[in-house]
A and B are shown apart, each in its own frame.
Chain A
């Protein structure tokens, strides 16, 4: 069963506009939610995270929103830049258990 769903396999956005990537989860025990970014031929790199006790975390151009009642989180990137073009993975965590990854969303930022 898929505990983490990223329903949009791809997303194209104009440079300077907002990119919104979504993630839904089923396990109510998740207490940390991480976003990873992956470029081709590289391993995933940590981008931003949010604790389940918060509903928003912001780091520069990146903001993650968490709606626990809906079991939904989203990553906002504004303004989007061509260097943001990558695959983004949502990865929740429960306690000390290994991260569970979604299938990812491929973001293309068009100049």
Chain B
């Protein structure tokens, strides 16, 4: 297993455009998380899935954001009508249902720049 894979690594888009990111978790992990990190901040939780069910969404996740994990494997995060404030690193992580004490395995992230 090559770990958690995120694509693309970088995305530059014009304000108002839609973007979609993909995350391929570690195959044995049934939980998948999306976090967002901006400069000088720690990762902020957005949403997570257990298998294909989306179990929790943060208040940070506006209605322009939608995430899916259709078959309980890979996940996509879509941002509609992007705004400059959406510019951030979007991180995906996966874990077993009982995560700690070994925590999550993170991907390298997708850096989004909205111009």
Is A99 in contact with B4, judged by CB distance below 8 angstroms? Answer: no
Q: Which of B42, B101, B105 contacts A101 (CB 8 A)?
A: B42
Query: Contacts of A44 on B, CB cut-off 8 Å?
Result: 43, 91, 106
Per DSSP, chain B at the interface is loop
Is B106 in contact with A93, judged by CB distance below 8 angstroms? Answer: no
Interface residues on chain B, number (Cβ under 8 Å): 26
> Is A36 part of the binding interface, using a Cβ–Cβ cutoff of 8 Å?
yes
Is B108 in contact with A93, judged by CB distance below 8 angstroms? Answer: no
Rounded to whole angstroms, the CA-CA distance of A102 and B108 in the bound complex is 19
Per DSSP, chain A at the interface is loop
Q: Which of A63-111 contact B (CB under 8 A)?
A: 89, 91, 93, 96-104
Query: Contacts of B100 on A, CB cut-off 8 Å?
Result: 32, 34, 49, 93
